[in-house]
Structure 1
């Protein structure tokens, strides 16, 4: 009987990548808290996880070889967040308290997934060595 990563690790192997991407977005929001007209972004976790599990790679594609190749990636799970506070006049929608809270929560969930994967790997090691 063969063991695949999907059977052994389940969804947690994909959550690490999605949580990492969300941490990048939240850190970008925090870094741009004072940038005029910056719009806070966030990740729809369910959409991003479904995309990761299906192996989708959202790169910009060319419809003609003469078109300029895109360097970025399009991710349909990333969107702008609806602001919780009124506009302060500079057009920035970043609320530092919200961003810090979401960043901390995301980090805790990332660590929980790492801990779960570590316990799964430990169990596999024990079964392979016969302990």
Structure 2
């Protein structure tokens, strides 16, 4: 018996993706002076587009009268891509510190919003368990 709704799994996946993005951007910032280092980014949007093209997004039925998807699969995971196309510095490094810091801040806001949503879900569950008290 699963007491958690499907939305918890979606939030868990979003938190995992956000954590991965944080690690990748942190690694890019840490290697800002490393010769020939090429930036990496998490290609979540490409993974999502591939899933939409292949129609391989999993579904979850909350009612027996809902339509089933014939192509239900496991969760899609984002990939890490390396940007080999540019070089900002003479040593071959292509880390743009301003861009990385902006992406880090954007990801932090997203992560905070996700954690607030998870907390809201747990508070709702706690209210149900305590019978509204």
Match of 1:89 in 2: 90
Give the alignment of 1:1-131 within 5 angstroms.
3-46=2-45, 47=47, 54-55=74-75, 77-81=79-83, 87-131=88-132
Q: Give ranges in structure 2 of 5+ residues lacking alignment.
A: 52-57, 59-73
TM-score normalized by structure 1? 0.70
Aligned partners of 2:78 and 2:131: how far apart in 1? 45
Report if the CA contact (8 A) 2:43-2:79 is conserved. yes
For residue 87 of structure 1, report the CA deviation from its aligned partner: 3.4
Larger displacement relative to structure 2 (4-13 or 21-30): 4-13
Shift of 1:13: 1.4
RMSD: 2.6
Structure 1 residues 103 and 17 mapped into 2: Cα distance closer, same or farther (>3 Å)?
same
Q: How many residues align?
A: 108
Deviations 1:71-93, CA, capped at 9 Å, x for gaps: xxxx871001366x753221101
Q: Report the TM-score when normalising by structure 2.
A: 0.70
